[in-house]
Structure 1
Amino acid sequence: MPELDPEDEKILTLARSTRARIQAAEGAAVRDTDGRTYAAATVDLPSLRLTALQAAVAAAVSSGAEGLEAAAVVTGDDTVADASVRAVRDLAPGAPILRADPAGTVRETLR
């Protein structure tokens, strides 16, 4: 994988630290078109289930973001959940989605 842009490295670090802080299945972060970042972890309640990326997108939208530049998810899974990809694509059809393992190594970039 090529070296990450510093701004992409930032959202990857936020996603990784969010996941680790609460020992969630996933951590995610997004950067909006104004450069603001939003991080979230998996939500798994009896009445509400969100992937970390869905939660990060929801945080961005609820703060007024109209678009996304990039997204990152840290997961032990080999793929990014379809629901996560759809949430990002709702705001940004072409934004890269970085999938990293728990150690923070980027395993793929979805475009």
Structure 2
Amino acid sequence: MTETLTDEDRKLVVLARGALARAESPSGAAVRDGDGRTYAGADVRTRTLTLTGLQVAVASAISSGARTFEAAVIVNGAPDDPGLDTLHELSPEAYAVLTDTAGAPQQRIGRADA
């Protein structure tokens, strides 16, 4: 991907990488809601609960009152992350950027694809 990230998207990368590192998780994510607030999450994998970092970030945002989303970043994630379905269910115009572990953009999903 040759496209550069916006300053706001770079902030999401920092938040997602921080969540990944704190949780010692293989993947982390961050979202920006329609009001510009940000939320981060890392994968949760227990015997009784499995969530991707994006699912955690979206759930955290929703539980804090977010109703729409502008963007998401998934660090070291996959294009079939089930959290993308929830993101686009609530905000079809939202986009997501997948990055490698270092934060370099690999793929954009959503609005920029149109």
Query: TM-score, with normalisation over the residues of structure 1?
Result: 0.92
4+ aligned runs moved over 2 Å, structure 1:
79-82
Provide the secondary structure at the position in 1 that maps to 2:98: strand
| Pairwise CA RMSD | 1.2
Provide the secondary structure at the position in 2 that maps to 1:8: helix
CA distance in 1, matches of 2:39, 2:33: 8
Query: 1:53·1:87 contact (CA, 8 Å) conserved in 2?
Result: no
User: Percent of aligned pairs with the same residue?
Assistant: 43
**Is 1:85 aligned to residue 84 of structure 2?**
yes
Query: TM-score, with normalisation over the residues of structure 2?
Result: 0.90
Residues 19-45 of structure 1: CA deviation (Å, up to 9, x unaligned) = 022210210000000110000000111
Q: Number of matched residues?
A: 109
Give the counterpart letter for 2:11 in structure 1: K
Higher deviation after alignment, 89-98 or 51-60:
89-98
Query: 1:80·1:99 contact (CA, 8 Å) conserved in 2?
Result: yes
**Is 1:100 aligned to residue 93 of structure 2?**
no
Displacement of 1:94 in angstroms is: 1.8
Displacement of 1:84 in angstroms is: 2.1
Structure 2 residue runs without a partner (length 5+): none
